[in-house]
A and B are shown apart, each in its own frame.
Chain A
Amino acid sequence: MPIEIKHASYTYFPGTIFESLALQDFSLQIDDGDYVGIMGKTGCGKSTLIQLIAGLMPPLEGQIIIDGKDINARDYPREELRRKVGIVFQYPEVQLFETSVEKDVAFGLRHSGLSKTTIAENVRWAIETVGLDFEAIRAESPFSLSGGEKRRVAIAGVLAAKPKILILDEPIVGLDPRGRAAFLELTTHLNAAGVTIIMVSHNADAIAENAQRVIVLEDGRLLINAPAKHAFRDVALLQEKGIGISPAREMAHLLSACGHPIPQDTIRYQELLPFLINIGKGASR
């Protein structure tokens, strides 16, 4: 069952001089198993949107429905939501606190009602899924790890609950190129295993290379909601709105402008390369 956001509105500090509208009559459906990239300028409502989906706060108007149930209804089982939806905040590594990696990853499951053996299995699975060697790292202090490893441990802590929906807020900021690639591969791997991924990022390349659907917000409203390959079509619009464009799409756009038409749904490098080769062979002839 999908995530349905129905006419949601949210305003911070309503009725004060600080009043600011974050989301306005916002409706959106996210299907199970989708990989959604969310883009938009700072202050466009991205973070508010993911906090509503994660049920961290209720919308002032409208409904958030997950698996057919209004998650803000009085009788909705919140603990079910916590297990279903995992959220990884920016710089999740600052939230590490336990004395060992294993304890830190297991912490969120302490009151889950799961048996000790299930918890231990989930913890091992989560640590291995983020690409770390469980036996080598389980007893280490999380604070002795490198930045990239810390972030993986923090994400393992969210994965250990085996969420069906994983929300990631700017997860690759501060990671080096190889760390970024490894992390993005992890997200596609989880997505292939059926986890719905919702990733907020300013990095258009990461979104174009991985997401199936792209959502662009502007001033609390939907500007674009389209399959990823169509989302970057209107380069002029995106530039005007200050939204990032994937490098491959930007290249295709520039080449189209100088007489080498390349389809507008070319957003990934591997899709662009055959066109570059063709143009290159023509030019050198």
Chain B
Amino acid sequence: MVIIEATDLVHSYEFEGSQNRSIDGVTLHIEQGEWLVILGRNGSGKTTFAKHINALLPVQGGELNVARLDARDPANIWEIRRHCGMVFQDPNNQFVSSVIEEDIAFGLENYDTPAGEIPARVERALAIVGMDGFEKKSPHMLSGGQKQRIAIAGVLAIDPQIILFDEATSMLDPEGRQEVLSTIHKLHAEEGKTIVMITHLVEEATLADRVAVFSQGKLLGVSSPREVLSNLDLLHNAGLTPPLPIRAYYDLQKEGVTLPCCPLTHQELVEALCPSK
């Protein structure tokens, strides 16, 4: 079932009288339970697109349905936001309380959740992100990865069907990044959430079911990670660079060494080069 259905979506920002089209006729359907990664240069329209999905930006042109709700109808805004949580880049900007359980309960309180239900939902959200036991702690004392998992728990407590991640790992150290990626994997695999993840790290796209590539407000292509990342023309046109295994695949080809298939990960490249193993 299609959960996000954008048809010919258009959006312009206005600056000092000049119109700047940041999304230019994007048609993209995202299936329920899918993990979609969006790649593209700065200013390619990725974030503007994502902000339409949870109704942070109004639809100016085209059509958008989120969880079978028409995003053009202002009456649907709050319902859409309940179905669609968003995790941003900087974990420090996402806290509203100095006690973790209060921070996570904040969203629930705003949605008039019965007070008796709140503790159980907070507890469950923390358990899913692996932060149980931190209820009474302050978010400011945590590592970057832990902070970001708390931010995810805050979104998760509302129980949205869709979670948007806007470069949510870019400020973290490698360990924190891994923590957050594993958490996203769990949300996708075990909780059945639809994941839309914006990233500048092409390596992270290998985790997705499908990868969409944006350039200058247009959708250049959307396909499996292997098809997108091995398409050098597509990556080049979008101002992206392939990860090491794919770069190596083509450089080896130039030297007359053709591997059986285009490797996505380090492990796949090792397996292609050491077939005995």
Q: What is A's interface to B at a CB cutoff of 8 Å?
A: 40-43, 141, 143-144, 146-148, 170, 173-181, 202, 204, 242-244, 247-248, 250-251, 254-255, 258-260, 269, 272-273, 276-277, 279-281, 283-284
- Inter-chain contacts of B241 with A (CB < 8 A): 177-178, 181
- Bound complex: CA A14 to CA B244 (Å): 46
Chain B: minimal CB distance from A47 (Å): 12
Q: Which of chain A's residues has its CB closest to B259's CB? A: A280
Q: Which of chain B's residues has its CB closest to A170's CB? A: B171
Interchain CB contact (< 8 A) of A280 among B143, B240, B245, B273: B273
| With A147-B42, A259-B277 already in contact, 14 other A-B pairs whose C-beta atoms are closer than 8 Å | A144-B15, A173-B170, A174-B200, A175-B200, A176-B240, A202-B172, A204-B174, A244-B173, A258-B270, A259-B274, A273-B251, A277-B252, A283-B273, A284-B258
B229-258 contact mask (Cβ, 8 Å, vs A): 1 or 0: 000000000011101110110011001111
B171-182 contact mask (Cβ, 8 Å, vs A): 1 or 0: 111111100000
Chain B: minimal CB distance from A72 (Å): 29
Asked if A42 and B143 make an inter-chain contact with CB atoms under 8 angstroms apart, the answer reads yes
Q: Which of chain B's residues has its CB closest to A273's CB? A: B251
Q: What is B's interface to A at a CB cutoff of 8 Å?
A: 15-16, 40-44, 89, 143-144, 167, 170-177, 200, 202, 239-241, 243-245, 247-248, 251-252, 255-259, 266-267, 269-270, 273-275, 277
- Bound complex: CA A178 to CA B202 (Å): 12
Q: Which of chain B's residues has its CB closest to A205's CB? A: B244
- Bound complex: CA A128 to CA B248 (Å): 34
- Inter-chain contacts of B258 with A (CB < 8 A): 284
Asked if B43 and A147 make an inter-chain contact with CB atoms under 8 angstroms apart, the answer reads yes
Chain A: minimal CB distance from B235 (Å): 9
Q: Evaluate whether A260 and B244 lie within 8 angstroms (CB atoms) in the complex, with A43-B143, A202-B172 already known.
A: no
- Bound complex: CA A260 to CA B274 (Å): 9
- Inter-chain contacts of B240 with A (CB < 8 A): 176-178
Asked if B42 and A179 make an inter-chain contact with CB atoms under 8 angstroms apart, the answer reads yes
- Bound complex: CA A272 to CA B244 (Å): 10
Chain A: minimal CB distance from B217 (Å): 13
- Inter-chain contacts of B43 with A (CB < 8 A): 146-148
- Inter-chain contacts of B257 with A (CB < 8 A): 277, 280-281, 283-284
- Bound complex: CA A175 to CA B171 (Å): 12
Q: Can you list 12 pairs linking A and B with CB atoms under 8 Å apart?
A: A41-B173, A42-B172, A42-B176, A173-B170, A176-B200, A202-B177, A258-B274, A276-B251, A277-B252, A277-B255, A280-B259, A281-B255
Sort A-B residue pairs by CB-CB distance and give the 3 closest, nearest first.
A280-B257, A242-B175, A176-B41
- Bound complex: CA A43 to CA B167 (Å): 21
Chain B: minimal CB distance from A88 (Å): 16
Interchain CB contact (< 8 A) of A41 among B16, B175, B245: B175
Interchain CB contact (< 8 A) of A247 among B16, B255, B266, B275: B266
Chain B: minimal CB distance from A169 (Å): 12
- Inter-chain contacts of A180 with B (CB < 8 A): 200
Interchain CB contact (< 8 A) of A255 among B40, B251, B273: B273
Chain B: minimal CB distance from A22 (Å): 15
Q: Which of chain A's residues has its CB closest to B239's CB? A: A178
- Bound complex: CA A177 to CA B246 (Å): 15
- Bound complex: CA A248 to CA B16 (Å): 46
- Bound complex: CA A202 to CA B15 (Å): 35
Asked if A179 and B173 make an inter-chain contact with CB atoms under 8 angstroms apart, the answer reads no
Asked if A144 and B16 make an inter-chain contact with CB atoms under 8 angstroms apart, the answer reads yes
Interchain CB contact (< 8 A) of A283 among B41, B239, B255, B274: B274
